[in-house]
A and B are shown apart, each in its own frame.
Chain A
Amino acid sequence: MEDNVKTVEILGSGCARCEETYRVVRHVVEEAGLACEVVKVESYQRMAQLGVMATPAVAIDGGVVLAGRVPKAEEIRQLLGLR
């Protein structure tokens, strides 16, 4: 179990695909009982700062791991080092 992850950011302007991504990540985090924070970020400044050009995007501790599509739960588990 990866307990080192502090924050998972879901970046997007609030469109349906971003909401969906947020749900998927929350689900995975809650299911695994991780202590990390899951935040929905709608700030364009933050997106630019992270170099995100396609939404929805997911960043783990400030590093973008996925952009431009809704991830599957399995992918998020892998990215969080749960599998």
Chain B
Amino acid sequence: MVTGLAALVLWVACYLSLPALSRWITADVLGLRRGTALASAVEFFVFEAPKVLLLLALVVFAVGVVRTFFTPERTRRVLAGTREPVGTVLAALLGVVTPFCSCSAVPLFIGFVTSGVPLGVTFSFLVAAPMVNEVALVLLLGLFGWKVAAVYMGTGLAIAMVSGWVIGRLGMERHVEEWVYDVTGTPAGADASPTDWPGRVRTGVATVGEIVGKVWPYVLAGIAVGAGIHGWVPTNFMASLMGRGAWWAVPLAVLIGIPMYSNAAGIIPIVEALLEKGAALGTVLAFMMAVIGLSLPETVILRKVLRPRLIATFIGVVGAGILVVGYVFNFLF
């Protein structure tokens, strides 16, 4: 408890001293003249890198603790007992808080479908789980404020629910590989998730070690790209390419984003830099969602259980949802 509080105080102190620290490093330690492209890029990097990593550690810890309350097994039990459309809505919400990694997508899919969770409900979960990413959510909150974060979460959930509902209506059960339905398994229920608070906190700390330990190079790379854009790309450069006036920008952003795969933490600094240089919010949001919500590796993995028609439908429906979100936001903001 005391250690925890001390860690939190230290965290806040580090976080608050970042602006001054980054100016000091750029101007005094490195001796860069203010106003040059290099100084601007370096200051961006030395400010954003520790800031994003600090935010990331805090969020991942909180999420690690929250997730000890939600296990795939428990989520499946809840979903197997509900019908559409309630199940579709619930699945999207549970998709946000249930621990999920795209490498578990197949066993999870089989587990859901064979225990009687409808296909549409399963997809609602499978879309929401990667798309509404807690890391992305809190980074957006920290970098752009609650409005953008709320918009991201709301639209992400909406896309998951609508996609799940549409796929459910299309009756595509026969486009699931047949062997999936022939599997007879017993739900193991061995999640071994801690149920006491010290255990939950330990899980949170372990999650920080595991996730931050894995994503930090991507985060730094993302911030470096962001810093490059920040320093050298002229302010309104993106306005013509990704601005509101360019109708083709949203579909292009989605098309480029789908095959790309990055983790959420790495894409946010790029998003920040693009927005700053005049790209429209909807276009950038669409790009980000396409990158983290739909990825080539995940579809390749899902091919093991889904026939090509269903994969194509999945990408098509979710892609269309992202497209609509992009246009709506460019129209609204």
List which A35-65 residues lie within 8 A (CB) of chain B: 44-45, 47-55, 63-65
A28: Cβ under 8 A from any B Cβ? no
B189: Cβ under 8 A from any A Cβ? yes
Looking at chain A's contact residues, is the secondary structure mostly helix, strand, loop, or mixed? mixed
- Report yes or no: A44 in contact with B110, Cβ–Cβ below 8 A: yes
Interface size on A, residues (CB 8 A): 25
Q: Which of B48-56, B86-94, B160-168, B180-188 contacts A (4 or more CB under 8 A)?
A: B180-188
Given A67-B188, A67-B190: A53 in contact with B72 (beta carbons within 8 A): yes
CA distance A70 to B108 in the complex (A): 18
- Report yes or no: B106 in contact with A44, Cβ–Cβ below 8 A: yes
Indicate the member of B100, B108, B110, B187 with the most A CB atoms within 10 Å: B110
Interface size class of B (residues with CB under 8 A): 20 to 34
Of B72, B76, B304, B305, which one neighbours A68 at CB under 8 angstroms? B72
Residue of B nearest to A66 (CB): B192
Of A15, A49, A55, A63, which one neighbours B190 at CB under 8 angstroms? A63
Q: Which residues of A contact B110 (CB under 8 A)?
A: 44, 47-48, 53
- Report yes or no: B183 in contact with A49, Cβ–Cβ below 8 A: yes
CB distance from B318 to the nearest CB of A (A): 22
Given A44-B305, A45-B179, A63-B190: A51 in contact with B185 (beta carbons within 8 A): yes
List which B168-182 residues lie within 8 A (CB) of chain A: 179-180
List which B197-214 residues lie within 8 A (CB) of chain A: 206, 210
- Report yes or no: B188 in contact with A54, Cβ–Cβ below 8 A: no
B114: Cβ under 8 A from any A Cβ? yes
Given contacts A54-B99, A67-B192, 8 further A-B contacts (CB under 8 A): A13-B106, A47-B106, A47-B107, A48-B107, A49-B183, A53-B104, A54-B71, A69-B206
State the B residues within 8 Å of A (CB).
Answer: 71-73, 76, 99-101, 103-104, 106-108, 110-112, 114, 179-180, 183-192, 206, 210, 301, 304-305
